Structure 1
Amino acid sequence: MAMQSTPPASAAASTVDPAEIAKFSKLSEQWWDPKGKMAPLHKINPLRLTYIRDAACRKFDRNIRSLNCLSGLRVLDIGCGAGLLCEPLTRLGAQVIGVDPSASNIAAARLHADRGHLSIDYRCTTVEEMDVRERFDIVLAMEVVEHVSDVGMFIGRCAAMLKPGGLMVVSTLNRNWKSFALAIVGAEYVLRWLPRGTHQWEKFVTPDELARHLLDNRLTIAEQTGVVYSPFADRWGLSSDMDVNYMVIAEGMI
């Protein structure tokens, strides 16, 4: 049974941007269409899943070849959308809690999980509204920090719910001329991978800025990597190039 939520320290303090919620709510019915408007997430999802699984297996000494390698681990997926990561993580044995402030996204997630006979704890709420007494082995913020109104506050709430020695995985977009050219102009206007207005370049977060927020909350960076798309292979891969997309793994202090 889920613990009762306690109000945040300040009722007015929130990292949620209402405009961002409205934007993704409009896409809720299309989340599970691999050829629809969420196609880029479907394309990158196997890479994200493998990265998270491998990091968790290294950290918690699990057999990466086991189909149940995440058994017993509590995972919090913040900004889970319709559950594109929640479902495969559940199939790997994790106890997954998916959180999203969009009611339509959560409704889509629950419906799809029911159809797949998966037990996932989906909650229409925000990270600020969650009870910090709930603790997790792994906290995910995948393509989320570039949509919140206060990155420092958001990371602080995430860190508060991480078990000592737990993992936080963040994926986001760097802020520079290259990311503007590729992630905004290229992805939204030229290739039309994403609906126009999906991202706001000024809200992108540099690796140095993210590192500072993590360190301010007693989280140590264990690994970071760039994520790049190969048009010739038509797939995403890991890279030393962090100029546009990148992922970071941080560990909580024991």
Structure 2
Amino acid sequence: MMTALQMQTQQPRWHSASASASSVNPNEVSHFNALAAEWWDPHGSSRLLHLMNPLRHDFIRRCLQASDSAPRLDDRSADSTVTYLDIGCGGGIFAESAARLPSTRHVTAIDPTPSVLSVAKAHARKDPLLAAKLSYKQSSIEQLQVPPEGHGYDIVSLFEVIEHIDDPGAFLDKVRPFVKPGGWLVMSTIARTWMSWLTTNLIAEDILRIVPPGTHDWNKYLNEEELRGFLAGKGWDSANVMGVVYVPGLGWKEVKGSEKVGNYFFAVRKV
């Protein structure tokens, strides 16, 4: 068990990687492969992700509303114009829901974990209407073809991904070319504080087992200021942040200021 003194002195466990190095950690792939069968069980190991999904869409709406020309995602009369790249899509919880929005033109969802991606594809096949708007690829960001200059996706999402990356700064640099000018990079992650260790590692994983043990490495959690530092001076603006808290029996709720202690959403717009 980690003591308070250890948490105060522990440095983030990130390491630098070359520009060509893969962002995929084999241990992470192995861990999520083992969870593949339960991905679409709303009471299984991915339960908290199912409950968080509505807030993901709320946060994206908030970002898009910053532009007067942005479509309302839930507007049935909206043209299908919004494109998504969902990186680390897992079993497709967010990707499927995004593809069903009237304003969505297409969702490309990638993940390096083969068993999880097989689950995502099998679940999507249950709804033939998704075929034209959703495509899955077993890929890392390094393997994906970079779009031409000035092109890309309206929304690039990193939901519960960045805290599993060994070198988050280099990874975010690789993601940037996939966001089109005026588009948004949207992510969710966890602040590295004693409270987040208590709630996500000790209580959620070790005691209640509502999250599989070994899912999170507290040393790789990212504080908001660190994310801002990785992105500073690299052609991003309009940073948005939303702190969220899981309330048993009620689900995930926005709580102002909670981004300083636990889970939060963060987004920036590409200039």
Quote the Cα distance in structure 1 between the aligned partners of 2:234 and 2:87.
17
The question of 1:36 aligning with 2:44 is answered yes
Aligned to 1:116: 127
CA drift at 1:64: 4.9
Q: Which of 59, 63, 71 is 2:72 aligned to?
A: 63
Q: Unaligned stretches of 5+ in structure 1? A: 1-9
Quote the Cα distance in structure 1 between the aligned partners of 2:113 and 2:164.
13
Letter in 2 for 1:217: K
Quote the Cα distance in structure 2 between the aligned partners of 1:141 and 1:160.
14
Matches within 5 A, 1:190-201: 190-201=207-218
1:82–1:64 Cα change, 3 Å = closer
Aligned to 1:90: 99
CA drift at 1:47: 1.5
Deviates most, 11-20 or 176-185: 11-20
Deviates most, 142-151 or 220-229: 220-229
Letter in 2 for 1:73: V
2:213 alignment partner, SS class: coil
The question of 1:166 aligning with 2:180 is answered no
The question of 1:47 aligning with 2:55 is answered yes
The question of 1:73 aligning with 2:82 is answered yes
The question of 1:212 aligning with 2:229 is answered yes
Letter in 2 for 1:169: V
2:158 alignment partner, SS class: strand
Superimposed CA distance per residue, residues 202-249 of structure 1 (whole angstroms, 9 cap, x where no aligned partner): 010111111111224322243111011223x52111121111001111
Aligned to 1:237: 253
Asked if structure 1 preserves the Cα contact closer than 8 Å seen for 2:63 and 2:240, the reply is no
Say what the alpha-carbon RMSD is for the aligned residues: 1.8
CA drift at 1:70: 7.3
1:127 alignment partner, SS class: coil
Deviates most, 183-192 or 60-69: 60-69
CA drift at 1:23: 0.4
Q: Which of 124, 130, 134 is 2:144 aligned to?
A: 130
1:198 alignment partner, SS class: coil
Quote the Cα distance in structure 1 between the aligned partners of 2:25 and 2:79.
32
Aligned length: 243
Superimposed CA distance per residue, residues 84-104 of structure 1 (whole angstroms, 9 cap, x where no aligned partner): 001111010421000000111
Aligned to 1:7: none
Q: TM-score, normalised by structure 2?
A: 0.84
Quote the Cα distance in structure 2 between the aligned partners of 1:18 and 1:216.
31
The question of 1:184 aligning with 2:201 is answered yes
Superimposed CA distance per residue, residues 130-151 of structure 1 (whole angstroms, 9 cap, x where no aligned partner): 1112611110001000001110
% identity of equivalent residues: 35
Superimposed CA distance per residue, residues 14-44 of structure 1 (whole angstroms, 9 cap, x where no aligned partner): 2111100110011111110001111111111
Asked if structure 1 preserves the Cα contact closer than 8 Å seen for 2:204 and 2:210, the reply is yes
Aligned to 1:5: none
Aligned to 1:247: 265
Q: TM-score, normalised by structure 1?
A: 0.90
Quote the Cα distance in structure 2 between the aligned partners of 1:69 and 1:79.
28
Quote the Cα distance in structure 2 between the aligned partners of 1:155 and 1:68.
34
Quote the Cα distance in structure 2 between the aligned partners of 1:226 and 1:100.
26
2:93 alignment partner, SS class: coil
CA drift at 1:128: 1.2
Q: Unaligned stretches of 5+ in structure 2? A: 1-17
